Structure 1
């Protein structure tokens, strides 16, 4: 597990086919940054429905996915093409679980939900089907809350402090959310107390609908 790129950026106005929109996706690599309970210093989000807040303070995206996307779309994707704060290797959605705790530099974070991507990724990379393909493949990345604030450098070590005993992977939650909305899968996810509140509410509402 290692950091490939550490990234921050404040929301700004961008253009997409003569459409103007505000977004925080256009982040830039940095050497070091202070991570607080609400995210990195000098970092921000525009769409608070999908990003930001203490439960989504840090956004991760998987380095290994870059090569897959570049091959599929025959393009070069610079870091961080997905607006992530930390581009990380060795931490795929299949092997990272909700509730897992990691130390990164001075900070300690806990994985709390898979990312629910939005159309901004397609606009930012000028690939119309990007959002659709991310949802189909479940290569979404994930969010973390901050348990201990501190400085993180782009060469900081990542140390697993605690693996959650229920072992509900990020990929399992994303697959359930988008593709396998089954009662038993949702119940398994809701057993994880550390799940982000917003995501818990979404799953709880869907479970209620299944029971009606």
Structure 2
């Protein structure tokens, strides 16, 4: 894997109505040349649900451009047409890094900022409305190609065409593809869950999820997250 990739697109979004609903969303992000990155995200980037989007553990969302053509082939129209850079509310679009190439806790220099991978994305029901497909969130989850989030270790200005350069990799045995496999496929691998729960650099919500699975030896209900239902 390369140690660095170029930011092909940098995107921020204002609040708009999601589909034909009254739900506010910042998923429709537009390209910008530069933006200031602070601990909660990019300047002028907004989220409709700040309980589940944005904030210190989800300051930046990254999606690999390699995924768009694969997803387009699997989706009906017009959803396939929507599957372009920016479709998933991503802030960073690149080629060269996928979930198999980056690890929990990876630290990168990005322009003036320093960022660290905190967790893979957990798709939610808003994608169903965004794409007009009742189970789009589940479809994306099943691909294990969900994109991922960064926390900000050092704020600063970032620009399109900056290089996202790997500085440090504390957990080379925990690529995000492994985390996603454990989250959604081999869901009750108790040994792996114990290891995952002990990764300090993993976001608190995923460490808690792993601990709850260990204690209950059951998988949490995904209905509310995927479909907006309890």
TM-score normalized by structure 1? 0.92
Structure holding more strand per residue: 1
Query: Once structures 1 and 2 are overlaid, which stretch shifts more, 179-188 or 59-68?
Result: 179-188
Who is 1:210 aligned against? Answer: 217
Aligned equivalent of 1:24, options 23, 26, 45: 26
Who is 1:176 aligned against? Answer: 182
SS at match of 1:158: strand
Who is 2:72 aligned against? Answer: 70
- Kindly indicate whether the alpha-carbon contact (under 8 Å) linking 1:50 and 1:116 is maintained by their aligned counterparts in 2: no
1:89, 1:147 → 2: CA distance? 23
Who is 2:163 aligned against? Answer: 157
1:148 aligns with 2:159: no
1:131, 1:4 → 2: CA distance? 25
Q: Deviation digits for residues 146-168 of structure 1, max 9, x if unmatched?
A: 01111111110111101124531
- Deviation for aligned residue 1:94: 1.0
Query: Once structures 1 and 2 are overlaid, which stretch shifts more, 160-169 or 57-66?
Result: 160-169
SS at match of 1:205: helix
- Deviation for aligned residue 1:183: 0.5
- Kindly indicate whether the alpha-carbon contact (under 8 Å) linking 1:101 and 1:162 is maintained by their aligned counterparts in 2: yes
Q: Deviation digits for residues 51-81 of structure 1, max 9, x if unmatched?
A: 1111111111111001111222263333200
SS at match of 1:207: helix
Who is 1:82 aligned against? Answer: 88
SS at match of 1:20: coil
Unaligned runs of 5+ in 2: 219-230
- Deviation for aligned residue 1:172: 1.2
1:96, 1:2 → 2: CA distance? 15
Q: Deviation digits for residues 101-137 of structure 1, max 9, x if unmatched?
A: 0111111100010110112122112233421221111
Who is 1:127 aligned against? Answer: 133
Aligned equivalent of 2:145, options 127, 139, 151: 139
Who is 1:191 aligned against? Answer: 198
- Kindly indicate whether the alpha-carbon contact (under 8 Å) linking 2:198 and 2:207 is maintained by their aligned counterparts in 1: no
Runs of 4+ with >6 A deviation: none
SS at match of 2:19: strand
- Kindly indicate whether the alpha-carbon contact (under 8 Å) linking 1:166 and 1:192 is maintained by their aligned counterparts in 2: no
Aligned length: 209
SS at match of 2:7: strand
RMSD: 1.6
